[in-house]
Structure 1
Amino acid sequence: MVVLESTVSPSACLYVCSTPIGNLSDVSLRLLEVLREVDLVLCEDTRQTRKLFSRFKIPADRLRSYHQHNERASQAWLREQFAAGRRIALVSDAGTPLVSDPGAVVVETAIAMEVPVVPIPGPSAVLAGLVGSGLTMTPFVYLGFPPRSQSERLLWLEPFRSAPATLVLYEAPHRLEATLAFLRDTLGDKPAVLAKELTKLHESFARGTLSALCERVAAEHPRGEYVVLIDNRLTAEDAERVREEETECAWQRALEEVRHAMEQGMSHKQAVAEASERFGVKRRELYNATLAQEQS
């Protein structure tokens, strides 16, 4: 990242603020203090943020709309605000900014101008879903919202298909059933959890395999945004199948190695000894299996 020559007032600061994801009682005292004291509050939707401000009697005259469609166009304006020493809070409609929400350009601009970036931690649907899921939390991989087209989804998921981790993603209700089916067909019928309405009155966690969750969603007509969590680690059956495949592959390669070595003039005994050591197969079994080659 290019660092711009700093002519910024030392009072300039960017606060990246986590806000409640449903239950306004999850607000932190530190967040309220920051929102009351900053000069500007950048928010995705001023109507959503006004609800929070109204609940805690914070004047809403410093709100400015800032979303994915205007963040690049606002960059010059942001530089002016930081240069003038403004203290700016960044919030999203719910949860932690930058986590599938706009805000990266604000942080990028602040860092380039050597303006302090101060996180105000708090609610996050990713973490709330993880701790309530019952799945192993470490490691986990957050994937955000899946792309809409099948070809883009395949490219999006490919780097993580073999990741031995809990995969976490968000999905809208009208795409949920198709996404679960895609995950099942691509990853296998792994253990999974659907978390919905987190921190709200009808918060729920549905647990089962991806196939079972597909059936449940088809019968329920889902509403609200979902956190989808998949345990992508190998099951005992998966691990055994992989071991069997690896053993068979090693055995076939050892047989081929013995044949090739003997064709090059190596003795049967020596060829077996070297191939057994190289591919980790039992020497006596390999010797017996390749005895016919010596006799031919």
Structure 2
Amino acid sequence: MRVVRSFEDDEGPKLYICSTPIGNLNDVTPRLMDTLKSVDVVAAEDTRQTRKLLSRYDIHVGELASYHEHNAVSRRDWLLDLWRQGKRVALVSDAGTPIVSDPGDDAVQLAVENGVPVIPIPGPSAVLTALVGSGLPVLPFTFVGFLPRDTKEARHALAQFGRLPWTFVFYEAPHRLRKTMDLVASMWPDRQMVLAKELTKRHETFLFGTAAELAAFLLEDPPRGEYVVVVGPDKSFDGTVNGLDLFPDERTVMSLEEAVLEVQRLKTEGISHKEAVKRISEEQGIRRKDLYDATL
């Protein structure tokens, strides 16, 4: 076990994880600007993008270096050498919070392994911005990042996350969005969804509708810009994924025979077979298909 106190040694080496604007350059905090002014090195996913931010706020750094997914491994010795010298490093991505579908996890792991304090500087996040503006249930939610590029793998990922009774969110590039939305619409045409684009910018847009409606809209209006896709919960969720009950301790589980009797009782009260099965399976944690088959 190791305890690292972020501010115990103000002069020692540090790794700052800096959240930067996701579009609107006004979305900076005084703490972010103070941090960028104080560090010895800024490790940036794209130095050209970071220069725009630094220039906007007249911030001059000792060293601006590239740090991205293709050179992260080769940068390990460089980072260790900086920290041995007691230097402070700020990690920034092109937009938003590093590591969240952006480079940086290797640097954080390296810092943790070597006892270097990792200090998050909170700020903008595209996933949270889209989620809170979506009107869909916020808690809990699952963030998926980017879906796999392979269609079969993407379908498998969607099938897993799409069965959950809460909202899930993923990112998608404009040139892939139509294909992805066609896939989602083929699986759940009536699922409520939101597409969010140009977040925090002048042309910020939220598109609300079912998967089928949004897929049809994109045929007439070609997607432009980066998108955040927010998918509403599966309202037919039976409490299990791949046969595993996700909430076994939250239910008083009946035997299948008792559940069959409860379904029959509800039917005598005028409730349809399908609705009776749905109620009892949700209340008692019994697989809906098993209960349905047993009560036919």
Contact 2:40–2:61 (Cα < 8 Å) also in 1 = no
More displaced, 78-87 or 199-208? 78-87
Could you state the TM-score of these two structures normalised by the residue count of structure 1? 0.77
> Match of 2:59, SS?
coil
Distance 1:10 1:61, change over 3 A: closer
- 1:53 maps to 54
Give, in whole Å, the separation in 2 of the partners of 1:125 and 1:94: 9
- 1:20 maps to 21
Contact 2:188–2:211 (Cα < 8 Å) also in 1 = no
Residue type at the aligned position of 2:258: E
Could you state the TM-score of these two structures normalised by the residue count of structure 2? 0.77
5 Å-filtered alignment, 1:150-169, equals 150-169=151-170
Residue type at the aligned position of 1:189: D
Q: Does the alignment pair 1:277 with 2:258?
A: yes
1:184 to partner: Cα distance: 2.1
Segments of structure 2 that go 5 or more residues without pairing to the other structure are 4-8, 239-254, 268-296
Residue type at the aligned position of 1:77: W
Residue type at the aligned position of 1:131: V
More displaced, 144-153 or 27-36? 144-153
5 Å-filtered alignment, 1:5-154, equals 11-154=12-155
Distance 1:76 1:187, change over 3 A: farther
State the percentage of identical aligned residues.
49
Structure with a larger share of its residues in helix: 1
Give, in whole Å, the separation in 2 of the partners of 1:121 and 1:138: 20
**Aligned-residue RMSD, C-alpha:** 2.5
Residue type at the aligned position of 2:114: M
Give, in whole Å, the separation in 2 of the partners of 1:78 and 1:2: 21
Segments of structure 1 that go 5 or more residues without pairing to the other structure are 243-273, 286-296
1:61 to partner: Cα distance: 4.5
> Match of 1:79, SS?
helix
1:187 to partner: Cα distance: 3.9
List structure 1 runs of 4+ shifted beyond 4 angstroms: none
Residues 235-263 of structure 1 show CA distances to partners (whole Å, capped at 9, x for unaligned) of xxx47xx7xxxxxxxxxxxxxxxxxxxxx
> Match of 1:141, SS?
strand
1:137 to partner: Cα distance: 0.5
Give, in whole Å, the separation in 2 of the partners of 1:112 and 1:221: 46
Residue type at the aligned position of 1:168: V
Contact 2:198–2:226 (Cα < 8 Å) also in 1 = yes
Aligned pairs, number:
245
Contact 1:172–1:224 (Cα < 8 Å) also in 2 = yes
